[in-house]
Amino acid sequence: MISSFLTAYDWKAGLVLLVLVVALGKLGRWLVFRVPTFRQVRDLNLAEDKLRLAREKYPAMIKRSVRVGVWTNLLYFFVMAPLVVSFEPRPVWQILLQAVLILMVYDFLYYLTHRFVLHASPESPLALLRYLRRVHAVHHQARDPSHIDSFYVHPVETFMGQAVFHWTVLGLGLALGDFHVASVAIASLTYIQLNTFNHVKFEVADPKYRVLNWISFKHHVHHIDMQKGNYATITLLYDRMFGTLD
Ligand SMILES: [Zn+2]
Ligand SMILES: [Zn+2]
């Protein structure tokens, strides 16, 4: 058991994954903010964020959430991911397909968790579900979110949300065989960036950016109250399939 764990554990691939996610995330932000429209959107969101951060509850909740997020991510990058990532060469199409597979399976599992656990009925006979609905209600306090609201999440929900992604990567990797480190980097970056971006106030007139307007708008609709759909975070495909697109 221990020897098969040690054989599967590729700490170098895990470390490269972490470096790729951090470095590409930074490079991506640097490139994006060279575009004047995105700088304007950033400034608008930073101004909104500042107003929210002045309220006592925001920094306190974000601090607790970030602390849990850091520990969950340490576990992911140093224990879970090294078991299922490798440098074994693969064609580009396979690398991309693996990333899409991770994201689609994750999105489905997150859809189910968000719809049936975090939005469980307040009258549910299960005390745990009623508690988790109240946990999620913290994030829903923002009726018209800005960038900072992607971090205004109860620590229990931060743990759950990240666990769904991390266990998807680990579970698929153990079931199907190792992923290329680039596949998991692409999937991790897309997951992180989309979960942040969908809270950004993004309403620009230029039709070039209509997909981005749509992504932001759809998650803002979800925040109007706790009755709206749009439970998935990557594509909303499952909301379309199961009739919960609002
Ligand atoms: Zn929700
Ligand atoms: Zn949200």
pLDDT tens string 100-155? 999 999 999 999 999 999 999 999 999 999 999 999 999 999 999 999 999 999 99
Ligand 2 centre from 40 Cα, in Å?
22
How far apart are alpha carbons 84 and 131 in whole angstroms? 33
- Residue 246 resides in a domain: no
Question: Is 97 strand, coil or helix?
Answer: helix
Whole-number Å distance, alpha carbon 193 to ligand 1 midpoint, is: 18
Task: Tell me, in angstroms, the distance from the centre of ligand 2 to residue 39's CA.
Answer: 22
Query: For position 8, what pLDDT does the model report?
Result: 83
Mean pLDDT of the 208-221 span: 95
Q: Which residue carries 């170098």 as its tokens?
A: 12
Q: What is the rounded CA–CA span in Å between residue 69 and residue 72?
A: 5
Nearest listed ligand to the Cα of residue 145: 2
**244 Cα to the center of ligand 1, angstroms:** 12
Strand 85-86 versus strand 179-180 pairing type: parallel
Ligand number nearest CA of 114 is 1
Domain carrying residue 83: 2-241
Inside any domain, residue 59: yes
Please check the confidence at residue 33 and state whether its pLDDT lies above 70: yes
Q: Which ligand is nearest to the CA of 228?
A: 1
* Alpha carbon distance 58, 99 (integer Å): 34
Going by C-alpha positions, the residue among 118, 104, 190 that lies closest to residue 153 is 118
* pLDDT over 90 (residue 14): yes
Residue at 102 is within a domain: yes
Q: Is 104 domain-assigned?
A: yes
Chain-wide mean pLDDT for the chain? 95
Q: Note the ligand closest to the C-alpha atom of 136.
A: 1
How many domains are contained in the chain?
1
- Ligand closest to 115 (CA) is 1
Q: Is residue 168 part of a domain?
A: yes
